[in-house]
Amino acid sequence: MEIVILPTAADVARTAADAIEQQVRSGPSVLGLATGSTPLGTYQELIERHRSGGLSFATSQAFLLDEYLGLASTHPQSYHSVIRGEFTDSVDFGADAVHGLDGTAKDPASEALRYEASIEAAGGVDVQILGIGTDGHIGFNEPMSSLASRTRIKTLTRQTRQDNARFFENPADVPDHVLTQGLGTIGEARHILLLAMGESKAEAIAAAVEGPVAAMCPASALQLHPHVTVLVDEAAASKLAHRDYYQDTFGRKPQWQGL
Ligand SMILES: N[C@@H]1[C@@H](O)[C@H](O)[C@@H](COP(=O)(O)O)O[C@@H]1O
């Protein structure tokens, strides 16, 4: 795991965009996209680089992490709609290149299997962007999710429903259930970028990075992954015990090869 502490949220967004740009410019790529407010600055950066820097996503594909059960892809708060509005419609992904889970599938268990198969058929995810919930969830893998879990239905905690209520007109409209890639599924991405900004994420980041690997903090499963880059601003890094070490080592690898 590489922990990169940056002065501001804008620096986190730029650095994440650098890693994604490098991947996309290397050839046809499969990106794993997260929703939530955390990656929005990164998506803005990528849109800007598409418009003014010629960055093209035309040969790339994207897979969403998760989806609310019961929301059609046309519902404004479905993650399908959100990712289109915040990112993918503003760049040049091909038609059908942005994949998501169908929240209205009649048989969610089959939908989960279909999704796993489609990620595999695409060759797996090259770079996965992740935010983190205040309780340490990634995707919608709430505490106590199996560290080996695959795409499946999950029930949201009260905390997550409260955290996400700000996106809905009425807090009671936040669905109880979701479909989410599992921790095992996410862990197959070849490079994972975990992003966090602000003090509200400081505890979750400390538990994910320095705590024990435990289902109580699903993001701690990332400690088992060979290539994770954690990009945090000062506030989100504020509860890390070994900040000095991370700051001393960043950029000083014997053979620096970027993120
Ligand atoms: N399923 C999403 C996660 O993918 C996201 O990381 C988390 C944090 O959201 P935010 O970035 O808005 O803090 O929220 C949701 O629960």
- Per residue in 187-239, pLDDT (tens digit) is 999 999 999 999 999 999 999 999 999 999 999 999 999 999 999 999 999 99
The residue extents of the domains of the chain are: 2-240
Q: CB–CB of 210/241 below 8 Å?
A: yes
DSSP class of residue 167?
A: G
Extract the tokens encoding 109.
């268990």
Ligand 1 atom closest to 66 (CA): 1
Contacts of 232 (CB under 8 A, 6+ apart): 3, 4, 5, 6, 12, 195, 196, 197, 201, 205
The tens digit of pLDDT for each residue in 118-174 reads 999 999 999 999 999 999 999 999 999 999 999 999 999 999 999 899 999 999 999
For residue 256, pLDDT over 90 is answered with no
Residues annotated as catalytic are: 66, 135, 137, 142
Residue among 64, 145, 164 whose CB has most ligand 1 atoms within 8 A, to mutate: 164
Classified by CATH at the fold level, domain 2-240 comes out as Rossmann fold (3.40.50)
| Cβ of residue 133 lying under 6 Å from some atom of ligand 1 | yes
ipTM: 0.94
Phi, psi of 75 (to 5 degrees): -65, 135
